[in-house]
Amino acid sequence: MLRQITIGDLLDETAGRYPEKEALVYQERGLRYSFAQFQEICNQAARGFMSLGIQKGENIAIWATNVPEWVISQYATAKMGGVLVTVNTSYRTHELEYLLRQSESTTLLLIDSYRDADYVGMVREICPELANCEPGNLQSARLPHLKNVIYIGEERQPGMFLWRDLLERSAQVAEEERKARQQTLLPDEVINMQYTSGTTGFPKGVMLSHSNIVNNAIKVAECQRLGMEDRVCIPVPFFHCFGCVMGTLACVATGATMVPVTAFDPGLVLSIVEQERCTALYGVPTMFIAELNHPSFAERDLSSLRTGIMAGSLCPIEVMKNVVHKMGIRDITIAYGQTESSPVITQTVPNDSIERKVETVGRVHEGVEAKVIDPITGETLPPGVQGELCTRGYLVMKGYYNMPEQTAKTIDSDGWLHTGDLATVDEEGYYRITGRLKDMIIRGGENIYPREVEEFLYTHPHILDVQIVGVPDTVYGEQVLACIRVKPGETLTEQDVLSYCEGKIARYKIPKYIQFIDEYPMTASGKIQKFKLREYAIHAFGLPGAGSTETA
Q: Going by CATH, does the domain composed of 440-540 fall within 3.30.300.30?
A: yes
Task: Give the domain 36-205 fold.
Answer: Rossmann fold (3.40.50)
pLDDT at 447: 72
Q: What is the pLDDT of residues 155-213, one digit of tens each?
A: 999 999 999 999 999 999 999 999 999 999 999 999 999 998 654 457 899 999 999 99
425 three-state secondary structure: strand
Q: Do the two domains 36-205 and 440-540 of this chain adopt the same fold?
A: no
pLDDT at 524: 65
137 three-state secondary structure: coil
173 three-state secondary structure: coil
**Helices and strands, number each (H, E), in the chain:** 18, 28
Looking at the whole model, is its pTM more than 0.75?
yes
pLDDT at 200: 47
Domain ranges of the chain: 36-205, 440-540
pLDDT at 546: 58
Q: What is the pLDDT of residues 361-380, one digit of tens each?
A: 999 999 999 999 998 899 99
- Give the Å distances, CA to CA, from 4 to 1, 185, 214, 365, 405: 10, 11, 9, 17, 29
Give the strands of the sheet with 257-260, arranged side by side.
31-34, 22-26, 257-260, 231-234, 280-283, 307-310, 331-337, 344-347, 363-364
pLDDT at 551: 26
pLDDT at 199: 42
Sequence-distant (≥ 6) Cβ neighbours of residue 429 within 8 angstroms: 363, 364
Residue spans of the chain under pLDDT 50: 199-200, 547-552
CA 318, 258, 312, 363 dihedral sign is positive
Question: In terms of Cα–Cα distance, which of 277, 269, 212, 264 is closest to 241?
Answer: 212
Question: In terms of Cα–Cα distance, which of 243, 284, 327, 309 is closest to 67?
Answer: 243
Q: Residue 163: how many CA atoms within 13 Å on its side-chain side?
A: 20
Sequence-distant (≥ 6) Cβ neighbours of residue 158 within 8 angstroms: 130, 131, 132
Percentage above 70 pLDDT, the chain: 97
Name the helix (H) or strand (E) containing 424: strand 417-425
